Chain A
Amino acid sequence: DAKTTQPTSMDCAEGRAANLPCNHSTISGNEYVYWYRQIHSQGPQYIIHGLKNNETNEMASLIITEDRKSSTLILPHATLRDTAVYYCIVSSYNTDKLIFGTGTRLQVFP
C-alpha cells in the first residue's frame, strides 16, 4: 500500500505556481520522498527527490517539513504541458522499489 496521501485533483492557472501537497506521516528516517508525474498516454517521469533538505532542479522545487511528515512539490511557473498526474512516493534509497498511489491530477488552464 502507498504510504502517502495526496489530493485527488487540483487546478492551476497557466503562469502561476502550482503547489502540490503530500502527507507521509509514517515516513522512516532512511526513506526519501520522490515525485514522478505521468502525462496522458506516457510513462511516468521522474521529477525530483529529497531526504530532509529542500531540493530544487530545473523542473521543480521540493519543500519537506522539518518533521518530514509532509512535503510540497512546487512548479514555479506552470504551463499547459504540466497537466499530468503527479505521484508522491516514499521509498528507501537502495531498495529500488517505488509504490505508486493514485496521485494528484493537476489541470493547468489558460
Chain B
Amino acid sequence: EAGVAQSPRYKIIEKRQSVAFWCNPISGHATLYWYQQILGQGPKLLIQFQNNGVVDDSQLPKDRFSAERLKGVDSTLKIQPAKLEDSAVYLCASSRTGMNEQFFGPGTRLTVL
C-alpha cells in the first residue's frame, strides 16, 4: 500500500510569512496526526483528527497554527505568521481507528529565517 505522502519536503521562509503543508494519509486510515519535531528532540503531537473532526489540539499554538481535514482524507497545516522558533520538521502520520501503530510520512523541513 502507498505510504503517507507529504509536500513540500523542504520550505524556507522569512519570519512573519505564511506557510502551508499538505498531507495525504494511507487510504482507509481514519486517524490523522500532525507532529512537530525540533532538532534533537522527539516528535511532539500538534493535532489529531478522527475523520474530519478534531480529537486533540491541546498542543497546537492556535494563535498562529491552524489545521483542517475537510473531507476526512487530506489535511493541511498552516502557520501564519511564522516565527523563528517554528523551524522544525513537520510530520504527518495516520492510523486505523483505535490502533497505536502509526504510519509516518517523510516530513516537511521548515526553516524560518
A44 with B56, Cβ < 8 A, contacts A49-B101, A97-B48, A98-B100 known: no
A96 touches which of B41, B42, B99, B106 (Cβ 8 Å): B99
Chain B binding surface SS class: loop
Q: Is the CB of B102 within 8 A of A98?
A: yes
- Chain B residue at minimum C-beta to C-beta distance from A92: B100
What's the nearest-Cβ distance from chain A to residue B97, in Å? 8
Is B93 engaged at the interface, CB distance under 8 Å to the other chain? yes
B70 at the interface (CB under 8 A from A): no
Q: How large is the interface on B (under 10, 10 to 19, 20 to 34, 35 or more residues)?
A: 20 to 34
Q: Which residue of B lies closest to A42 (CB)?
A: B106
CA distance A95 to B56 in the complex (A): 11
- A28-67 vs B: 1/0 string, CB under 8 Å? 0000101000000111111001000000000000000000
Tell me if B65 is interfacial: C-beta within 8 Å of chain A: no
The answer on a CB contact under 8 Å between B55 and A96 is yes
Q: Contact check, A2 vs B42: say whether CB atoms are below 8 A apart.
A: yes
B82 interface hit (Cβ, 8 Å)? no
Query: Are A102 and B101 touching (Cβ within 8 A)?
Result: no
Name the distance in Å between A108's Cβ and chain B's nearest Cβ: 20
Contact A46 B103 (CB under 8 A): yes
Q: A96-B95, A97-B48 are in contact. Are A43 and B106 (CB under 8 A)?
A: yes
The verdict on A93 contacting chain B, using a C-beta distance below 8 Å, is yes
Which positions 80-113 of chain B face chain A at CB distance < 8 Å?
A: 91, 93, 95, 97-107
Contact B42 A101 (CB under 8 A): yes
Residues of chain B with a CB closer than 8 A to A34's CB: 100
